[in-house]
């Protein structure tokens, strides 16, 4: 029987979605299954699992495991065969965002000569360039580069390190990133080597690390986290920026734009630009 590729989506509260994701991880039959988990709506506490089974058996097993969680709402969509097969064969496709080309090893041959090429493998850290928030940050940074160079850059919530590495590859002398997740810090440092870039990453909550204080003040801060921590960090980010310095904020949903913007306006920032991508918003704000 021909298998018709599917995407299974399960939505529900964070604790339930996380428990279901652990159940997928623990299921021997689903060892090779591809899925992601992310927060869809912070205010309503809706988290979402997207799973991409590659066989009928895998699809059935995924649905069985997810069905054990009564608070998850399951939907299944048929995917266009050609797209899905191409993705399964070649891994995640490369992403172009302005001058940046984010690719995995399997797409090495597709690197454009004119682009700033960033090699980022899909793995245990967030930030392969496929998410609307990462693309939003890269697009915003790409536009800022048309007029400025940024000597000192801080990347809060670095994930794979893609943003700080992008900065290091475009003239930044001091690029430092933090992540609260030690695996992301390790992966970011590995990606730095893979890209022969000069950036370093440290394990920290927000900006709370001596290396971050040592390199301050910054010309540019990237912060792609979530709305609530972005608001909580507004005071520290202001303190870490030079006058006239810029912050690129992402990880907020469009519906949260006013909440985040309001916090930064009240800390003496002005809005330079905003980018909407899918449900996500990226804000570029300048310290005045």
Ligand X SMILES: C[S@@+](CC[C@H](N)C(=O)[O-])C[C@H]1O[C@@H](n2cnc3c(N)ncnc32)[C@H](O)[C@@H]1O
- Give me the sign of the Cα torsion angle 258, 259, 265, 271: negative
Residue 229 within binding range of ligand X, rule CB under 6 A = yes
Contacts of residue 253, Cβ cutoff 8 Å, sequence gap at least 6: 41, 42, 227, 279, 280, 281
What is the smallest separation between the CB atom of 63 and ligand X, expressed in angstroms? 28
Q: How far apart are CA 33 and CA 19, in angstroms?
A: 16
Residue with smaller CB distance to ligand X, 72 or 230: 230
What is the smallest separation between the CB atom of 5 and ligand X, expressed in angstroms? 26
- Give me the sign of the Cα torsion angle 258, 264, 270, 276: negative
Q: How far apart are CA 124 and CA 249, in angstroms?
A: 23
Residue 225 within binding range of ligand X, rule CB under 6 A = yes
Residue 180 within binding range of ligand X, rule CB under 6 A = yes
- The size of the interface with ligand X (CB under 6 A), counted in residues, is 23
224 is in an annotated binding site: yes
134 is in an annotated binding site: yes
Residue with smaller CB distance to ligand X, 10 or 120: 120
Helix (H, G, I), strand (E, B) or coil at 183: helix
Contact stretch for ligand X (CB under 6 A) within 70-78, 80-88, 107-115, 172-180: 172-180
157 is in an annotated binding site: yes
Residue with smaller CB distance to ligand X, 18 or 181: 181
Residue 178 within binding range of ligand X, rule CB under 6 A = yes
Binder of ligand X out of 12, 53, 94, 251 (CB under 6 A): 251
Residue 127 within binding range of ligand X, rule CB under 6 A = yes
Residue 266, phi-psi category: left (phi > 0), alpha (psi -120 to 50), beta (remainder): alpha
Identify the H or E element spanning 157.
none
**Paired sense of beta strands 6-12 and 95-97, if any:** unpaired
Residue 257 within binding range of ligand X, rule CB under 6 A = no
Helix (H, G, I), strand (E, B) or coil at 226: coil
The DSSP 8-state label assigned to residue 109 in this structure reads: G
Binder of ligand X out of 66, 139, 145, 162 (CB under 6 A): 162
Q: Which stretches of the chain bind ligand X, using CB under 6 A?
A: 125-127, 133-134, 137, 156-159, 162-163, 178-181, 184, 205-206, 224-225, 229, 251
Going by the annotation, the residues of the binding site for S-adenosyl-L-methionine are 134, 157, 179, 224
């Amino acid at each position: 029987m021909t298998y018709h590729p599917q995407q299974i989506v399960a939505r529900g509260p964070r604790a339930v979605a996380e428990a279901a994701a652990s159940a997928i991880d623990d299921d021997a039959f689903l060892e090779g299954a591809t899925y992601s988990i992310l927060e869809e709506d912070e205010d309503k506490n809706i988290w979402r699992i997207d799973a991409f089974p590659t066989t009928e058996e895998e699809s059935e097993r995924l649905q069985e495991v997810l069905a054990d969680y009564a608070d998850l709402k399951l939907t299944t969509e048929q995917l266009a065969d050609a797209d899905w097969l191409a993705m399964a064969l070649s891994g995640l496709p490369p992403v172009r965002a302005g001058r940046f080309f984010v690719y995995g090893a399997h797409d090495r041959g597709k690197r454009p000569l004119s682009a700033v090429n960033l090699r980022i493998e899909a793995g245990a850290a967030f930030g392969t360039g496929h998410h609307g928030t990462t693309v939003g940050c890269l697009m915003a940074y790409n536009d800022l580069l048309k007029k400025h160079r940024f000597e000192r850059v801080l990347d809060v919530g670095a994930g794979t390190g893609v943003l700080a590495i992008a900065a290091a590859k475009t003239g930044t002398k001091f690029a430092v990133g933090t992540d609260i997740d030690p695996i992301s810090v390790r992966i970011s440092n590995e990606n730095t080597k893979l890209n022969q870039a000069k950036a370093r990453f440290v394990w920290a909550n927000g900006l709370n690390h001596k290396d971050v204080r040592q390199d301050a003040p910054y010309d540019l801060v990237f912060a792609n986290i979530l709305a609530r921590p972005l608001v909580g960090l507004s005071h520290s980010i202001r303190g870490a920026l030079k006058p006239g310095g810029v912050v690129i904020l992402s990880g907020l949903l469009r519906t949260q734009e006013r909440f985040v913007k309001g916090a930064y306006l009240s800390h003496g920032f002005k809005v330079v630009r905003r980018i909407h991508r899918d449900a996500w918003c990226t804000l570029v704000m300048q310290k005045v």
